[in-house]
Amino acid sequence: METNYQLKRADFIFKNENDWKEVLKKNINRPPHELINELISSELKGRGGAGFPTGLKWKLSAEVKSDIKYVICNADEGEPGTFKDREILSLVPFKVLTAMAICGHVVGAKEGYIYLRGEYFFLKPELNKAISEFEHYCKEINLDFTIRIFMGSGAYICGEETALFESMEGKRGEPRNKPPYPAISGYMNKPTVINNVETLAHAYTIFTYGAKRFYDLGVQYSRGTKLFSVSGDTPKPGIYELELGMSLTDFVNDFGDGDTKAVQVGGASGFLVPRKRFAETTIGYEGKLIGISLPTGGSMMLFNSSRSMFNVLDNYLEFFREESCGQCTPCRVGCQQLLKGIKAVKTGEKNAQHLDKLLRLAETMQFTAKCGLGQSVANSFSSIVENFREEMIY
């Protein structure tokens, strides 16, 4: 591996230096409020992309009175350019299971589910093996907590938490109206904590080493480390754990091929950052350009000068057109109009001013779509069209 570390690499997630059984036993004997405070003081934010404070999420659910509550691990990793959750589940599944059980202890839930995307079916046998070993140990220490895998069947939108509940309830994966929020009314209308795979893995780190160790990494508002899925025009595609708060220039220096034209931060629903803005862009939850957006986390796709940004956008929009659940107008029709619109401009059927109309449409989608999918189409659309307008026309 390269040695020029401008980027602060870290190795928590995939390191298996301690015994999950010890971590579990230690933590389920701690009072819930103490665990919540630990998580809150770590400032861990959701690693699925939306960045909601994890400690607060657990706290809200813990405060609701209900006989039945659920803990759900969101493993519906479908954002283009994201592949880190698969790696976590195949390499360190016990960290995720342990964090789920601790969460169950904190909020008062006895049932956990892993919603695993259909594309990752091949993970299921090994994961089930891990679960039975895990449950066996839970019984040994008298912890009443079960975990089941629920398989998805090829629908990106099910990564949206309320769509995921609908899917688990045997329905079309259509996002619900919010409020109510999952902490109050989630799966089966019961209080539900739903966390991304990586978030749970970080929670494990925090409950193993304490909040401070995590908090001391990263920068203000963006504490800790994050897994990045690096792909595209890079000599070393793969999964990397890095401290948050890095500048995109540093990232490209390390991962670029010397000819990086733009980086797509956060997958198809994230932002495209052109070369001229690398220096001013930091990767974290706050910054000049927030590079993380729902429903992804840590997708970094690099494009060099051989790539047509029109083709890139065309590919994204095809994706959204198909993967929109189709229920709300702005997303269902908006995606079709954006896609047909850029093609019409490219072929000259519409003049270049049509791009401005489409930018305004994208903004309306952001304001009015029912869920994160439709709202975030504008991220990539606007950042590509604004920065590479000439490529859209000629």
**Which residues ranging from 154 to 213 are in contact with another protein (CB under 8 A)?**
154-157, 167-173, 177, 179, 188
Binding of residue 344 to another protein (CB under 8 A): yes
Among 11, 132, 360, 386, the residue binding another protein under the rule CB under 8 A is: 360
Binding of residue 8 to another protein (CB under 8 A): no
Instruction: State the helix-helix crossing angle for 309-323 and 329-347, rounded to 10 degrees.
Output: 150
Can you tell me the distance from the alpha carbon of 337 to that of 144, in angstroms, rounded to the nearest whole number?
A: 51
Nearer to another protein, 332 or 389 (CB): 332
Q: Which stretch binds another protein (CB under 8 A): 62-70, 274-282, 339-347, 383-391?
A: 339-347
Among 6, 132, 220, 311, the residue binding another protein under the rule CB under 8 A is: 311
Nearer to another protein, 168 or 201 (CB): 168
Binding of residue 243 to another protein (CB under 8 A): no
Nearer to another protein, 281 or 299 (CB): 299
Angstrom distances, CA of residue 41 to CA of 37, 81, 283, 353? 6, 31, 21, 49
Among 354, 359, 391, 393, the residue binding another protein under the rule CB under 8 A is: 354
| Min separation Cβ 81 and another protein, Å | 5
Residue in the structure block whose two tokens are 């990494």: 217
Nearer to another protein, 78 or 218 (CB): 78
Q: Which stretch binds another protein (CB under 8 A): 31-39, 192-200, 208-216, 365-373?
A: 365-373
Can you tell me the distance from the alpha carbon of 342 to that of 20, in angstroms, rounded to the nearest whole number?
A: 51
241, containing H or E segment: strand 238-243
Quote the tokens at residue 105.
């202890």
Nearest of 175, 202, 181 to residue 73 by alpha carbon? 202
Binding of residue 346 to another protein (CB under 8 A): no
By CB under 8 A, what part of segment 121-140 binds another protein?
121-122
Q: How many residues of this chain bind another protein (CB under 8 A)?
A: 85
Q: Kind of pairing, strands 271-274 and 111-116?
A: unpaired
Site track 18-57 with another protein (rule: CB under 8 A), x = hit: ----------------------------------------
- Residue 44 · residue 53 · CB < 8 Å: yes
Q: Which stretch binds another protein (CB under 8 A): 27-35, 128-136, 235-243, 273-281?
A: 235-243
Q: Which stretch binds another protein (CB under 8 A): 21-29, 62-70, 206-214, 304-312?
A: 304-312
Binding of residue 220 to another protein (CB under 8 A): no
- Residue 52 · residue 46 · CB < 8 Å: yes
Can you tell me the distance from the alpha carbon of 387 to that of 48, in angstroms, rounded to the nearest whole number?
A: 26
| Min separation Cβ 255 and another protein, Å | 11
Nearer to another protein, 217 or 273 (CB): 273
Q: Phi first, then psi: what are they for 150, rounded to 5°?
A: -115, 120
Residues 6+ apart with CB under 8 A from 244: 217, 218, 219, 222, 223, 224, 225, 226, 283, 284, 285
Binding of residue 230 to another protein (CB under 8 A): yes
DSSP code for 243 = E
Binding of residue 260 to another protein (CB under 8 A): no
Q: Is 1 exposed, middle or buried (0-12, 13-18, 19+ CB in 10 A)?
A: exposed
Binding of residue 239 to another protein (CB under 8 A): yes
